[in-house]
Amino acid sequence: MRALALGWLAGTLWLQTRADLPPLLLSSSLMVVGALALGLLALDVLNVLASMRGKVYVRIMLLVLAGAALGAGWSALVAQHRLAEALPAELEGKDLQLTGIVASLPNRFDDGQRFVFEVESASFGSRAVTIPSRIALGWYAAEQSPPVLIPGQRWQLTARLKQPHGQRNPDGFDAEAWWLTEGIRANGYVRQNPAVLRDEFVISVRDLVGRARHVLRERIQHALADARFAGVIVALVIGDQRGIEADDWDVFTRTGVGHLISISGLHITMIAALFSGLAHFIWRHSFFIGTQLPLWLPARKAAAVAGLLSAIAYVALAGFGIPAQRTLLMLAVAVLAVWCNALLSASQLLACALQVVLMFDPWAVLWPGFWLSFGAIACLLFASSGRMTNAGGWRNALRSATHTQWAVTAGLLPLTLLLFAQVSLISPLANAVAIPVVSAVVTPLALLGVVLPAPLCGWVLQLAHGSLALLAQGLQWFAALPLAVWQAPTPGWFETVLALAGTAWLLCPRGWPLRWVGLFAWLPLLMAQPSAPGRGFWVTAFDIGQGNALLIETPSFRLLYDTGPAYSAAADGGSRVILPYLRARGIDTLEALVISHSDIDHAGGARSLMKAMDIGWVASSLPAGHALRDARHVDCVAGQRWRRDGVQFEFLHPLVSDSDVAKPNARSCTLKISAGNYAVLLTGDIEAPQERALLQRAAEQLRADVLLAPHHGSGTSSTPAFLDAVAPKIALFQVGYRNRYRHPKAEVVERYHQRGIAVLRTDRSGAVSLQIDHSGIKLTQACETPRYWSSQRCH
């Protein structure tokens, strides 16, 4: 069982790293080969090996290979079925008339709401069309606010859709993989054409669950109106984390208690154990009510079923989210083993649960929760193997709890650094306080409060919120400690495997020789330093959407040019793209930040970055009194130059006299970076008048090998004379997929092509990295390492 499950995991992992899916015939063949191998082993056809000393190892190897074939084949078949639903390219951006059901709890924000829509019928004009059955829609406020959507409603509306397209950045979140996991095969927005509510409620199990979650969220928000942690209470009751403030998430992350702030595996298991224990007690004592229930069904089996049913109900409150489903499947495997009277060890149960989870969700291996969940259980099993004790007393209980926390914290440290590039040092202490408070006080009070009638509902929820607020004060104090978090670059596989081996040695039973030596295996992991150029400089142009953001690095100097757009009131390019990349690199300081001008697609992420990182100085063309101007600020002015590590930086625009120009684009800080015979020119959003001015006063300084296309390739920039003066070999266009400005303009792109300039668009290639030194320019694009679900492919 264990070898088969590990092989299945290996096969699934292999499949999820492929650029293309294997053909259907090959996927089916893998399944057949794996099944035949299992059949041969089951029939013991390999008795010929009986005389071989290595028979056991041969059988294990065959089981692993059979599992790998089955895992890869099964995952490929599931992926092919999921990808078969696709939005035809000719329907992108068209007005489609849709009829369907609101299939999720809407995420409401200031400008509208987003929700999952289950499509029942679709048409384009008078023609019926086929589109994916499950899509994500936004309904935004324009002339009037959108209606309040409720799960289970059937609507007829007009929408514009596009194929799933996410940003591709090193160490960034893969939105396309997430949409694939959730079964969402198109997204878009509702047009302002009149929408018609066809049915107030369509009865189905899914919609009943959705409506119940809606009612519970409304009760909590009404009882805790304007309360700071109302979003956390909602997350604990129905698993909806979208109402939690970003600042609170930062505290939970720094203290390592983020796993508690939802319907987590811990809470599901706790509820299952509570109802299981209650059912077991009632079953064993049923003679008090004149029945003999244990004679009909053993109390152990009845308790297992009660625990599973309570877990199903609680997971339903979470909307059957993928992480909650994973815990439910693991519990279901344990219950099935009880009902079948299977004498399985804990490791065999874990292996069986692993295989079942991968069968239901082959994409689970892409997400940190999968590895941390199974990793934590594996650490507990390994650390407690052969060391259980029947001794009672609070001292032994405290010792056991401390050992458990130590085993999980130490065991998961290499994985945590691999997945998040940071680890909370204060986590063991914070969890020692937070786990009992959240699990035994806040969560039970919140669950009780939502089912009680008013005014008891409000009183109990206020008590839960007050308890949580007290805990949050302590967590904020923990999070503010100087060494609360250890940050290091994302380790390589060698460092990770070495650290895992050292961790296993460290967690061995007492008496194992030199257990402390395992700590030394952590040193390469913890002491790694951020990579930097040996000479010359690096440029990273992020796939940021419709906006600019580029990181320039020399051996001892890092400058960020622009910070990307603001996507919403709660998200921007700084927090969603740039910060995750810098943290994965182990970078916590920027020597300089340049904000070319005040437009939201260039300055939108600045506030997040300035709050989260140490920044030496900020140069910009922001007007006086702008909120981003502080003591670190200087105005960018043509003629300013400095030199770091042999790399020359110089502003070519704007002039001092341009400060009175009203249009922000015209004041864009234009920066040239040069090393030896190679140069990069970053132009911001300058347009034709500024290009002419630069030609008149600094034509000889414009020559560059790489050009950031002015104003994203708009029709008002990239004039022929300007391109001839710069004469770049490469042009970077940082644009959003199907952006509303239709950048870059086709005639502008053609202008570049006519001059033999290589055009790189981040909406097609993903992030672009350039390594520039005396030997030349080395180009790397994110699209060079696609996955089979990726929309961005290098051409």
> Hey, what amino acid is at 318?
A
Q: List strands edge to edge, sheet with 641-644.
A: 641-644, 647-653, 670-675, 678-682, 706-708, 730-733, 758-761
Phi and psi based region of residue 672 (left: phi greater than 0; alpha: psi -120 to 50; beta: remaining): beta
What does the alpha-carbon distance between residue 551 and residue 197 come to, in Å, rounded to a whole number?
48
3-state SS, 277-289, equals HHHHHHHHCHHHH
What does the alpha-carbon distance between residue 603 and residue 621 come to, in Å, rounded to a whole number?
11
> Above 60 in pLDDT, residue 715?
yes
Q: Is the bond preceding residue 654 a cis peptide, omega within 30 degrees?
A: yes
> Above 80 in pLDDT, residue 459?
yes
What does the alpha-carbon distance between residue 147 and residue 113 come to, in Å, rounded to a whole number?
9
Tokens 């899914």 found at:
206
What does the alpha-carbon distance between residue 58 and residue 76 come to, in Å, rounded to a whole number?
27
Contact between 505 and 516 under an 8 Å Cβ cutoff? The reply is no
Contact between 451 and 439 under an 8 Å Cβ cutoff? The reply is no
- pLDDT mean over 778-786: 94
Q: What tokens were used for 235? A: 């997350």
What does the alpha-carbon distance between residue 135 and residue 163 come to, in Å, rounded to a whole number?
10
- φ/ψ of 573, rounded to 5, equals -60, -30
From start to end of 452-546, where are the E strands? 485-487, 537-541
Contact between 303 and 285 under an 8 Å Cβ cutoff? The reply is no
What is the per-residue pLDDT for 50? 47
What does the alpha-carbon distance between residue 108 and residue 233 come to, in Å, rounded to a whole number?
17
Tokens 């320019």 found at:
777
> Above 80 in pLDDT, residue 387?
no
Query: Any residues with CB less than 8 A from the CB of 164 and at least 6 apart, and which?
Result: 175, 176, 179, 180, 184, 185, 186, 187, 789, 791
Q: What tokens were used for 693? A: 């001015």
- pLDDT mean over 438-446: 93
Query: Any residues with CB less than 8 A from the CB of 555 and at least 6 apart, and which?
Result: 532, 533, 534, 535, 645
What is the per-residue pLDDT for 177? 96
Between residues 765 and 59, the one the model is more confident about: 765
What does the alpha-carbon distance between residue 157 and residue 145 come to, in Å, rounded to a whole number?
15
Burial class (CB in 10 A: 0-12, 13-18, 19+), 72: buried
Q: How many CA atoms lie within 13 A of 151 on its CB side?
A: 22
Q: Which of 214, 186, 196 is nearest to 103 (CA)?
A: 214
- Cα torsion angle, 331, 333, 338, 339, sign: positive
DSSP 543-609: --SSS--EEEEETTEEEEE----B-SSS-BHIIIIIHHHHHHTT--EEEEEEE--S-HHHHTTHHHH
What does the alpha-carbon distance between residue 491 and residue 483 come to, in Å, rounded to a whole number?
20
Q: How many CA atoms lie within 13 A of 141 on its CB side?
A: 9
Compute the radius of gyration of the chain from its Cα atoms: 29
**How much is the mean pLDDT over the chain?**
90
> Above 80 in pLDDT, residue 30?
no
- pLDDT mean over 128-140: 96
What is the per-residue pLDDT for 41? 59
What is the per-residue pLDDT for 391? 55
DSSP 765: H
* Count of helices and strands (H, E) across the chain: 27, 25
Between residues 379 and 777, the one the model is more confident about: 777
Percentage with pLDDT > 70 across the chain: 96
> Above 60 in pLDDT, residue 359?
yes
| 3-state secondary structure at position 321 | coil
- pLDDT mean over 646-658: 94
What is the per-residue pLDDT for 474? 95
What does the alpha-carbon distance between residue 647 and residue 641 come to, in Å, rounded to a whole number?
11
Most confident of the ranges 22-26, 506-510, 653-657:
653-657
What does the alpha-carbon distance between residue 740 and residue 49 come to, in Å, rounded to a whole number?
67
DSSP 490: P
Q: How confident is the model at residue 283 (pLDDT cuts 50, 70, 90)?
A: confident
What is the per-residue pLDDT for 513? 87
Tokens 């199903």 found at:
312
- pLDDT mean over 570-585: 94
Phi and psi based region of residue 174 (left: phi greater than 0; alpha: psi -120 to 50; beta: remaining): beta
> Above 90 in pLDDT, residue 297?
no
Q: pLDDT tens, 522-544?
A: 999 888 999 999 999 999 999 99
Q: Say if strands 112-124 and 107-109 run parallel, antiparallel, or are unpaired.
A: antiparallel
Query: Any residues with CB less than 8 A from the CB of 373 and at least 6 apart, and which?
Result: 265, 323, 326, 327
Q: What tokens were used for 627? A: 């909120």
Q: pLDDT tens, 58-104?
A: 778 888 888 888 899 999 999 999 999 999 999 999 999 999 999 99
> Above 60 in pLDDT, residue 390?
no
What does the alpha-carbon distance between residue 452 and residue 64 come to, in Å, rounded to a whole number?
52
Q: pLDDT tens, 208-218?
A: 999 999 999 99
What does the alpha-carbon distance between residue 770 and residue 623 come to, in Å, rounded to a whole number?
32
What is the per-residue pLDDT for 392? 60
DSSP 228: T
Phi and psi based region of residue 718 (left: phi greater than 0; alpha: psi -120 to 50; beta: remaining): left
What is the per-residue pLDDT for 288? 66
What is the per-residue pLDDT for 88? 95
Contact between 220 and 233 under an 8 Å Cβ cutoff? The reply is yes
Least confident of 323-337, 353-367, 397-411, 770-784: 397-411
Percentage with pLDDT > 90 across the chain: 67
